[in-house]
Amino acid sequence: MNGKIYLMGAGPGDPELITLKAVRILQAAEVILVDDLVNPLLLRHASADARIMAVGKRGGCKSTPQAFIHKQMIQAARAGKDVVRLKGGDPFMFGRGGEEMEAMHRAGIAVEVVSGVTAGIAAPASVGVPVTHRNYAPGVTFVTGHSQDGKRVNWAALVASLTTLVIYMGVKTLPDIVAQLLAAGMSPHMSALAVQNGTLSEQRQVLATLETLHSAMIEKHIGSPAIVVIGEVADLAGIGMTSAADIETFAHVA
């Protein structure tokens, strides 16, 4: 009999932000395929007998081919092993979980999704920013700043939506994103926030405006992995900041 595949979210980084269900399944898993952004401390929950495979994927770095990951998952499951595919955040939020679910379905292998806390909510929350707030935005849009196969985000449509924009994998392409948002009519003074290594002890963040965010990130040495939040809700970061000195202090909070 085939084993089962668990597409599991490891949460945003803080090892305490993983679900109880995920811990229970990790403890029983026989094979665990782990992404780069997963906190290694979570592997303390794994059985000493579990086979652990690093199959990292990160922009700008050497990545494990997706086809190879599918092959390893299928081979282990067909050998009767229960397999955890452990991903940072949530497996269905820019984590290729959908692709892996389809591949397992084609192979005739059972899949269960174990949701996780996504960085797009947890990183802003760590500095007091709610991605939704009835006084500031009618909703939130989670979007990738990393296009694939020439497909591009319709930034003009997102500006018109008036939703909070939460951008994953957008550090490298931020200048282009900002240019398109400005061209679509977003105010250059719109509040903008970047949070690097959200929820971890090494977390760093900077609050700026849309037109100054990129330069502020360079000045404060904030890079990937980072979540970018654009919208009025960003003003809630460190409520009470009224001066440049306050904002400078906030930018240096670890």
pLDDT, one tens digit per residue, over 104-127 is 999 999 999 999 999 999 999 999
Q: Sketch out the chain's domains with CATH numbers.
A: 5-114 (3.40.1010.10), 119-251 (3.30.950.10)
Query: Quick check: helix, strand or coil at residue 223?
Result: coil
Does residue 246 have an active-site annotation? no
Q: Would you give the DSSP letter of residue 137?
A: B
Catalytic residue among 73, 93, 101, 169: 169
> Cα–Cα distance between 223 and 195 in angstroms, integer?
9
Sign of the alpha-carbon torsion through 164, 168, 171, 177: negative
Does residue 241 have an active-site annotation? no
Q: Please state, for a pLDDT cut of 70, what percent of the chain lies above it.
A: 90
Confidence of residue 41 (pLDDT cuts 50, 70, 90): very high
> Cα–Cα distance between 250 and 128 in angstroms, integer?
12
> Cα–Cα distance between 150 and 70 in angstroms, integer?
24
Token pair belonging to 11? 């949460």
Catalytic residue among 4, 57, 81, 87: 57
Look up tokens 């909510």; give the residue. 121
Confidence of residue 252 (pLDDT cuts 50, 70, 90): very low
Look up tokens 């190879």; give the residue. 68
Q: What is the pLDDT of residue 239?
A: 62
CA 52 to chain centre: 22
Catalytic residue among 35, 81, 186, 190: 35
Look up tokens 């086809």; give the residue. 67
Q: What is the reported pTM?
A: 0.90
> Cα–Cα distance between 206 and 128 in angstroms, integer?
13
Mean pLDDT in residue range 152-165: 95
Does residue 73 have an active-site annotation? no
> Cα–Cα distance between 223 and 8 in angstroms, integer?
26
**CB atoms < 10 A from the CB of 141, how many?**
19
Mean pLDDT in residue range 178-191: 97
